[in-house]
Structure formats: structure tokens, C-alpha cells
Amino acid sequence: MYPIISKLRRKSYRLALLAGASLLILMTHVQAASSAFDMTLRERVKSSDTNSGYQINNIQQTWNSRETAVIVCDMWDLHHCKNAVTRVGEMSPRMNEVLIKARKAGVLIIHSPSSCMDFYEGHPGRLKAKNAPTAPNLPEDIGAWCYVIPEEEQGVYPIDQSDGGEDDDPVEHAAWAKYLESIGRNPRAPWIRQVDTLQIDSSDAITDDGKEVWNLLEQHKIKNVILLGVHTNMCVLGRPFGLRQMAKNGKNVVLMRDMTDTMYNPKMWPYVDHFQGTELIVEHIEKYVCPTVTSDQLLGDKPFHFKGDPRAGL
């Protein structure tokens, strides 16, 4: 009998260990499911001193990760502006770290490389977006580009982007266009997918459709939305899934201001450095559209800076 009892005891011990391990995994999962981010949202409000215009106001909020989404806007593999491609390449490794950290905490990641959905046909992330049930509160115009919201009419748009915002050297730009042609791309719209530095996980969604984005947000009970990507003054603001649409339709939306870039040519008004042009757009957003945050609030180090960016702080 003794050997049999010993075997039974050993089996019971192993089962107890397995049960304990399962409980630990379950507790870890529950803990991840309720992860929280302490966020500092920066906005600009009219100063009581009429001579000083606007002043920075920091808002402290705690966000439930399961009620939060990150939308990655138009981080394309290629662009007609060579300098824009360079800046995307410089920024994308840091952006991928943000996505990894957010994803592990339970944040919904939505990749939105506009006009690139053919590349992702059949991808689980694409199917996830397509199959999201239609939200009962689907905004009427959520599928359309949003060029302005009423709040912005209180101010003057801070940069002239009427030339398209390309800041390439003309000779380099011509050579870049020829290169794009040589690899079979349209020099004016060479993008076919998202830059491959940004990992797409099986838990992520892929869509450039405002209705699908909204359906995903409602399906997952998302209250908080972080927009990052390019370009701040165009797609990030105006796309059907952009800042304006999210703000006017009631989402607690923010721009991650160190994970974005503008299409601005310093040869255009107000004739400032490219990165100062970005800063002016960020200020405009903080005044009239939504607050902003920085990547270090998730990663715990310092905000990202482009090489050559003269801005003292973000």
C-alpha cells in the first residue's frame, strides 16, 4: 500500500502546484485587465490676464487600460516627401515601444494606414475591424473627413500648408521621385502598407474606415483615445478617425505630441523652422481641439525628440 499512497500523494502535490500556478496566471491576467495609467493631459486655456492670451493647464487623470485605445494614423512605408520618410523612420522605433507597452497593459491598438487596406486583406486584424458590430450610437458623419470644428473658429490656423507642406530640397526631391518610380511606386502616393517597424499583433485591429473605428471603440467600451502618427496638421486632425471626429463625438481623446510630425514647409508663413511649425499646430490643438500627452507617460523615461529639433521641451 505504501508505494501506492506515495504515488497518490505525489500526484496530489503536482496537482496542487498546477492549481497554484493557474491561480497565479489568473491573478496576473486580472491584474493586467485592470491596469491603470496616470496621465497628465496638457491643454491651453484663456488666461484671466487678457494680455497673456492662453496659459498651459495640466489635468491629472487615471485611465483604465481596458477603456483605452491607441489609433496609429498613416504611418506609411513610403511618402512623396523624402524628409517625411526620414522622420517616420526616426520616430517609429519609439512608437513601437509605446504600442508594445500599451498592448501588454490591455489597450486596444488600431492601425490606420489610410488607402492601404488591400495589403491587409484577410489579416486577422482587418477581419476584427470588419466584423465589429455596428454601434447603435454611430455618428452620422463619422465616415467623412473633418476639416474644422466650431471651436477652431475662435482662432487663426497657425501655418500655411497650401503648398502641401513638403520641405525637401528640390534636387533631392526630384531624385526621390525618380527612385519611387524605379521601384514601381506612384511618386505622389507611394504608400502601400504601414511601416514595418511597427509590429501588428493578433490582438490589434486594422482599418482606415471611420465607421469601423467607431464600431471597435464601442464594442470594446473605449472611453479614452490616444492619437499618434502623421501628419498632425492634416491626417491626424482631419481623418474620419482623427482628433476632430473623436473630440466632437465625445471621446476623451488626446494627441501624443512627441509621437507626431507635420507637413510644413518653412518657406511658407509664418516662416519658422519645421519643428516650430509642429509646435504651433500642437498649440492650436491644445487650445481648440483636445489636450495632449507625451510617450514618457507610458514608458517612464523622457519624451522623444527628433534630431535637430530646437524645441526645449514637449
Summarize pLDDT for 244-262 with one digit per residue, the tens.
999 999 999 999 999 999 9
Predicted local distance difference test score (pLDDT) of residue 49: 74
Label residue 9 by pLDDT band (50, 70, 90): very low
Q: Say if residue 61 is in the same domain as residue 24.
A: no
Query: What domain range is 180 assigned to?
Result: 37-299
Q: Say if residue 76 is in the same domain as residue 144.
A: yes
Q: Say if residue 181 is in the same domain as residue 257.
A: yes
Q: Say if residue 20 is in the same domain as residue 130.
A: no
Q: Which residues of 61-85 are buried (b: 16+ CB within 10 A; e: fewer)?
A: eebbbbbbbbbbbbbbbbbbbbbbb
Q: Say if residue 7 is in the same domain as residue 97.
A: no
When mean pLDDT is compared across 18-32, 64-78, 112-126, 238-252, the lowest value belongs to 18-32
Residue 169 lies in a domain: yes
* End-to-end CA, the chain: 74
pLDDT tens by residue, 24-40: 333 334 344 559 999 99
Number of neighbouring beta carbons within 10 Å of residue 260: 25
What is the CATH classification number for the domain harbouring 217? 3.40.50.850
**Cell digits for 304?**
522623444
Residue 310 lies in a domain: no
Q: Say if residue 52 is in the same domain as residue 133.
A: yes
CA atoms within 13 A on the CB side of 183: 12
Q: Say if residue 27 is in the same domain as residue 76.
A: no
Q: Say if residue 26 is in the same domain as residue 47.
A: no
Residue 241 lies in a domain: yes
Residue 311 lies in a domain: no
Predicted local distance difference test score (pLDDT) of residue 5: 34
Mean predicted lDDT score pLDDT of the chain = 90
Q: Say if residue 251 is in the same domain as residue 218.
A: yes
Residue 314 lies in a domain: no
pTM more than 0.75: yes
Residue 309 lies in a domain: no
* Number of separate domains in the chain: 2
Label residue 20 by pLDDT band (50, 70, 90): very low
Share of the chain above pLDDT 90, in %: 85
Q: Which positions ≥6 away from 85 have C-beta within 8 Å?
A: 78, 79
Q: Say if residue 154 is in the same domain as residue 14.
A: no
Pairing mode of beta strands 36-46, 108-112: unpaired
Label residue 312 by pLDDT band (50, 70, 90): low
Q: Say if residue 130 is in the same domain as residue 72.
A: yes
**Cell digits for 180?**
519611387
Q: Is the pLDDT of residue 84 over 80?
A: yes
pLDDT tens by residue, 187-212: 999 999 999 999 999 999 999 999 99
- In angstroms, the CA 194 to CA 121 distance is 13
Q: Say if residue 84 is in the same domain as residue 195.
A: yes
Q: Is the pLDDT of residue 55 over 70?
A: yes
Which of 262, 256, 131, 123 shows the shortest CA–CA distance to 193? 123
- In angstroms, the CA 69 to CA 216 distance is 10
**Cell digits for 51?**
494680455
Q: Please state the rounded mean pLDDT for residues 70-94.
A: 98
